[in-house]
Chains A and B, each alone.
Chain A
Amino acid sequence: MKLLIAEDTRDLNRALTAVFTHEQYQVDSAFDGLEAMKFIEENEYDAIVLDIMMPGKDGLTVLRETRAMNIDTPVLLLTARAEVDDRVTGLDAGADDYLTKPFAMKELLARVRSMTRRRASQTVKELRFEDVILNTESYELSSGNSVRLSNKEFELMQLLMMKQGRELDTGYLLEHVWEGEPDVPEDTVWLYISYLKGKLQSIDSRTVIVGNRGGSFHLEAN
């Protein structure tokens, strides 16, 4: 699980980073809103913990810009005061949850767990990209024609479709599709990308996977 922590109070940021790292999360730490935005633009996260009051760019602005880029990563807001308006604005801007400072670390961990778990189970029956439909129950990939995908092919295609418009690098794909499987060679990603390229052709689709061996990938329609 990859997590972004955006919190300008240095001590709190360090403490949060240490605790989440200890819990086996891969953590990136941002100390202001601009830095947070840069991390979000360049990486794919499974969850983001976002402080509202930050210099450079406040948390609500970061949240709005993130959602405007079609990034639907779960976001938990940290609010300093128990102000109802802040929390309402935050939730309306696309936050998934919030927590008021001061908070118990145990509760933050539980809320992040619950947020990511909820997201994982929220899969829709059909994913669409241009002329391609992926059925998440039957693993059928269809356009003019149809084929059935294997488990790994399905997971890879699902990621590419869910994160459409984003560049997904080989490391990210290896980590998410082959999660918990050590010693998977990097070329595995390229092999599975190649399978999917062939299968998109075989269903007579205009959609292609753009990207080179070892690099980043995204879907595009010709």
Chain B
Amino acid sequence: MNESESITKSVAEPLPYQGNSIYGGHLEDMKVVMEDILSQIDEVRKSMIELRGKDPVDHCLARIKSEESMREKCRNRRLPETPHAALRLIHDAIGIRIVCGFISDIYAIRDRIAEFRNTRIVYEKDYIRHAKSNGYRSYHMILLADGKYYVEVQLRTISMDTWAALEHQLRYKKNATANDTLIASELKRCADELASTDVSMQTIRDMIYGEGDLWT
């Protein structure tokens, strides 16, 4: 999962340190929270299929950040390796990625997530309208579930997901080379071409279904 910007104010009570896991005794509860949100996403998909005959979601992934990568993230952010850091100061211990066909699906699902039971939106980042400087695009939502656990939801189109996956594969070359600037600008160009195609596909869909205000 990509790193999200943190908010300094923590919303829930501090957690005591328990056992050896960085998540203390919370792993089971976290799984329950993740499953609850996944089942609510399923409900949204089903109701949208009923409404429009098509599933807006291509695929959906969920994970709890592994023990090691959470510890690594704590170290990178100069935080103690404690449940409080992992669950309160860092907000992507529970991560859900929803990959959609079209840009408009992302915003439609975002609106439905805003109405989810037992959760509220803590903050959101629209990296689609405001892409990161390297070209990364996604819609990020940080939810607080049961007033206790943070969940990072990433919404993307298939194109955005493709770019992020391939860029991730290319990022892990150890030594810097003279061509790094060229590579970065070419990856950005690819992101901008894919983003352009996403808008075109959306426009074609709007034309076919007479949606939006352009073709009606």
Q: What is A's interface to B at a CB cutoff of 8 Å? A: 138, 140, 144-150, 190-191, 194-195, 197-199, 201-202, 204, 213
Q: Is B129 a contact partner of A204 (Cβ separation < 8 A)?
A: yes
B151-174 with Cβ < 8 A to chain A: none
- Bound together, the chains give a CA A146 to CA B131 distance in angstroms of 8
Is residue B189 within 8 Å, beta carbon to beta carbon, of the partner chain? Answer: yes
- Bound together, the chains give a CA A140 to CA B131 distance in angstroms of 15
Residues 174-216 of chain B, each 1 if its beta carbon lies under 8 Å from chain A, else 0: 0000000000000001001101101110111011000000110
Interface of B is mostly: helix
Q: Is A194 a contact partner of B195 (Cβ separation < 8 A)?
A: no
Most buried by B among A138, A147, A191, A195: A147
Contact of B199 among A140, A146, A202 (CB under 8 A): A202
The smallest C-beta distance from B216 to any residue of chain A, in angstroms, reads 10
Is residue B112 within 8 Å, beta carbon to beta carbon, of the partner chain? Answer: no
Is residue B128 within 8 Å, beta carbon to beta carbon, of the partner chain? Answer: yes
The smallest C-beta distance from A168 to any residue of chain B, in angstroms, reads 18
Q: Is A195 a contact partner of B192 (Cβ separation < 8 A)?
A: no
Interface of A is mostly: mixed
Q: What is B's interface to A at a CB cutoff of 8 Å? A: 103, 128-131, 189, 192-193, 195-196, 198-200, 202-204, 206-207, 214-215
Q: What are 9 A-B contacts defined by CB distance under 8 Å? A: A144-B129, A145-B131, A147-B195, A147-B196, A148-B196, A150-B200, A195-B203, A198-B199, A204-B129
Query: A191 with B203: in contact, given A197-B214, A202-B195 (CB under 8 Å)?
Result: yes
Enumerate chain B residues within 8 angstroms of A195, measured Cβ to Cβ. Answer: 199-200, 203
* A204 and chain B: residue at smallest CB distance: B129
The list of the 9 closest CB pairs from A to B, nearest first, reads A147-B196, A198-B199, A148-B193, A148-B192, A194-B203, A147-B192, A194-B214, A147-B195, A145-B131
